[in-house]
Homo-oligomer: A and B are copies of this chain.
């Protein structure tokens, strides 16, 4: 059984599963486990790891249109190195402070592989879910796409300082809050734009038609892409970007765009069925954690 089949098994048994975060009684809660071998390229500092681990959970809170309250992390490593733990804390507290969330520590453990499990808790009375997109809505993305893909290539090339900079991201909490009153459906792009569109399509029982030339491709992608085909892959299926993918009525677009601090780009429209880019089917490919 692969990860997606396993997640489907969970969804059958746990009605709260299926959005970026679970919704319970005015709270949203989300948890992620990250491992050195699969989630942190060689050269990732412990500060960047702390930033990204907590950032991934805060991005899920943002994708629900919720206000983060606090975040915790369980940190496991082959030894308790004070410098490494301090750097991790710098990153964890840094990303939490960037979105006005309190980092409240967690658990420490010895383990043969550096592993972090982060959890964030937020509040909202009116969460935005993956279900709710309506035919004719605009589909938009925040920020730029492919930033993490570009960072990944820089890690491969040994340019770790620039890679670490690019690899830290500000979770789109402010944008999520601004989008929430108008959004009909929303999720983050942690598995890449293509997979996000497929997941929104399935949850909302709709389709999407997007245009590649409309995508806000990060300048970093253009700098590292081998060719035009590679650029498309980095921008649409690499994932790990933690931008928001959101649907909203066309008439709300202009006012919302002004309220979103990080840029909001209309990339296409909600259709009856099928996920297409430039008129051709867009495959359901993307980041699979643990690959």
Residues of A within 8 A of B (CB): 1-3, 5-7, 9-10, 13-14, 16-17, 22, 24-25, 27, 29-33, 35, 38, 69-70, 72-74, 76, 79-82, 85-86, 89, 93, 102-113, 115, 117, 119, 121, 289-290
- Per assembly, the copies of the chain total 2
Whether A80 pairs with B117 at a CB distance below 8 angstroms is no
Contact B89 A27 (CB under 8 A): no
Distance in angstroms between the alpha carbons of A82 and B107 in the assembled complex: 28
Q: In the bound complex, what is the Cα–Cα distance between A6 and B78 (angstroms)?
A: 13
Apart from A10-B105, A33-B117, A117-B117, 14 more pairs, CB < 8 Å: A1-B79, A3-B109, A3-B110, A14-B103, A24-B70, A30-B72, A31-B73, A31-B106, A31-B117, A35-B76, A35-B109, A111-B290, A112-B113, A121-B121
Residue on B with the closest CB to A89?
A: B13
Which of B10, B70, B107, B121 contacts A33, CB < 8 Å? Answer: B107
Which B residues are in CB contact (< 8 Å) with A106? 31
